[in-house]
């Protein structure tokens, strides 16, 4: 067992000379075996060995007994122990997940490499669980040998090897009574599925765990090939193999605040990618809209449609990302962000509406067609301020003033748009 442990540690560069290694010890067979094996190898590896135990208080006196056992075991071999505890309550993902989250929060707060006793059997069970629930290459990679400062050197060691090691050294351990319950999927797989499959191949656990490690390496390679500083253009993505462009999209979604992109989210974005329409969008969880803008995919947070705002003259008004100043004109100025007009009735700022048109030097166009021609993303079109009076559109920010409504002489009013502190997404879209 120690030789396998050493090979795993060296293959994945888990430990360097001088490291502090903290073994997570529940008191069960696997964790006791890991702690004692690392104790035997501490000089060879040139490490400082410590232990950590977390009491979840889920099994009353039995949990307290586990903690007492670990304290006594560590004391016997003069291994420093970090002890933590919490009253764990079921969360959205259940009691098991809440207990795991609490345990890892405690472990990650410790200094050094955190070694956990996940075995080949644990890895094989995880593979089967994920196959049942549905997964891809990343899911089949199961338990990572290294995750941040957490290392798992026993992933190619099966439970039979653990039992032989404990017996050879006369090492005691604790049995978790909850492991006998079939209330949890993992236990049902452990008690029913694994024995059946092992009857066909006694080396099932090691084979599945080795497969998982290799698939994880394949996934890491594909992810690295898909890791671009910025998302490539639509045509470039289309030319990629699906395995590559889907990972590009997954990274793009993660960078765009979609925390855990699912296959359905990636497929929805792929629909934009291969659509014949040059402009389209999909809404995803987390308030994110992904838009296709010709050869680019862009992601924006959902922004509510602005409410119409009446302007006072003279006066200053905030509209979305803009500060809008209205005052009597002292000269005629008509630019994309400043309009001199002679309004009829109340001046109003609002988003575009169906049927809005504007006449520019090239003729009259609907705002819808104008925004399309200027390649403004659909998600941004309703954020662009439209200046109106009782007779209709006077001007559109970043576009210009309506040719028929521009003031030719004074008196008139000047409306000027200034960006608030940070450049708005609508401004960026109009460039």
Backbone torsions φ then ψ of 78, nearest 5 degrees? 55, 45
List, for residues 262-296, the tens digit of each pLDDT value: 888 888 899 998 988 888 888 887 678 888 888 99
pLDDT attached to residue 353:
93
* Cβ-contact 81, 74 below 8 angstroms: yes
Cα–Cα separations (whole angstroms), residue 5 to 43, 118, 243: 15, 12, 33
Q: What's the alpha-carbon Rg for the chain, to the nearest Å? A: 32
Instruction: Return the bridge partners of 340, or none.
Output: 414
Instruction: Report percent pLDDT > 90 for the chain.
Output: 63
Q: Is the pLDDT at 303 greater than 90, yes or no?
A: no
Q: Is the pLDDT at 99 greater than 90, yes or no?
A: no
Residue, of 126 and 376, whose pLDDT is higher: 126
Instruction: Return the bridge partners of 272, or none.
Output: none
Coil vs helix vs strand at 367: helix
Q: Is the pLDDT at 339 greater than 50, yes or no?
A: yes
Coil vs helix vs strand at 306: coil
Q: Is the pLDDT at 257 greater than 90, yes or no?
A: no
* Cβ-contact 70, 98 below 8 angstroms: no
pLDDT attached to residue 298:
87
Q: List the one residue out of 41, 51, 85 whose CA is nearest residue 71.
A: 51
pLDDT band at 178 (very low <50, low <70, confident <90, very high): confident
Residue, of 111 and 430, whose pLDDT is higher: 111
Q: Rounded to an integer, what distance in angstroms lies between the CA atom of residue 311 and that of residue 326?
A: 7
Q: Rounded to an integer, what distance in angstroms lies between the CA atom of residue 119 and that of residue 156?
A: 6
- Reading the block at residue 268, the tokens are 């929805």
Q: Is the pLDDT at 421 greater than 50, yes or no?
A: no
* All structural domains of the chain: 2-222 (3.40.50.620), 226-301 (3.30.465.60), 309-430 (no CATH)
List, for residues 6-43, the tens digit of each pLDDT value: 999 999 999 999 999 999 999 999 999 999 999 999 99
> Exposed, middle or buried by CB within 10 Å (0-12, 13-18, 19+), for 378?
middle
């Amino acid at each position: 067992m120690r030789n396998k442990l050493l090979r795993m540690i060296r293959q994945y560069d888990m430990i360097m000379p001088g490291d502090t290694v903290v073994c997570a010890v529940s008191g069960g067979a696997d964790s006791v075996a890991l702690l004692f094996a690392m104790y035997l190898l501490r000089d060879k590896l040139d490490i400082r060995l410590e232990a950590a135990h977390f009491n979840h208080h889920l099994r009353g006196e039995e949990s307290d007994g586990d903690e007492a056992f670990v304290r006594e075991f560590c004391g016997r071999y003069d291994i420093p122990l970090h002890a933590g505890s919490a009253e764990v309550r079921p969360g959205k993902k259940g009691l098991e997940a809440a207990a795991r989250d609490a345990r890892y929060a405690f472990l990650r707060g410790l200094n050094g490499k955190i070694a956990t006793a996940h075995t080949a059997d644990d890895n094989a069970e995880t593979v089967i669980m994920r196959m049942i629930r549905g997964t891809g290459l990343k899911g089949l990679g199961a338990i990572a040998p290294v995750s941040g400062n957490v290392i798992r050197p026993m992933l190619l060691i099966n439970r039979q090897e653990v039992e032989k090691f404990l017996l050879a050294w006369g090492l005691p351990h604790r049995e978790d009574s909850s492991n006998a319950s079939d209330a949890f999927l993992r236990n049902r797989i452990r008690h029913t599925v694994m024995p059946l499959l092992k009857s066909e191949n006694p080396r099932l656990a090691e084979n599945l765990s080795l497969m998982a490690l290799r698939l994880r390496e394949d996934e890491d390679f594909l992810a690295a090939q898909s890791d671009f500083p910025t998302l490539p253009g639509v045509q470039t993505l289309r030319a990629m193999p699906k395995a590559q462009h889907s990972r590009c999209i997954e990274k793009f979604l993660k960078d765009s605040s979609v925390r855990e992109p699912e296959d359905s989210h990636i497929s929805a974005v792929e629909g934009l990618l291969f659509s014949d329409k040059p402009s389209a969008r999909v809404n995803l969880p987390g308030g994110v809209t992904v838009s296709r803008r010709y050869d680019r995919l862009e992601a924006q947070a959902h922004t509510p449609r602005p409410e119409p705002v009446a302007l006072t003259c003279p006066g200053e008004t905030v509209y979305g990302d803009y500060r809008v100043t209205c005052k009597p004109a002292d000269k005629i100025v008509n630019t994309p962000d400043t309009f001199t007009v002679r309004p009829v009735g109340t001046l109003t700022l609002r988003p575009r509406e169906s049927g809005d048109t504007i006449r520019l030097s090239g003729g009259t166009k609907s705002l819808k067609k104008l925004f399309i021609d200027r390649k403004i993303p659909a998600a941004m079109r309703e954020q662009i301020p439209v200046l109106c009076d009782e007779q209709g559109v006077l001007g559109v920010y970043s576009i210009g003033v309506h040719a028929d409504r521009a003031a030719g002489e004074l008196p008139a009013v000047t409306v000027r748009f200034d960006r608030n502190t940070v450049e708005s997404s609508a401004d960026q879209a109009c460039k």
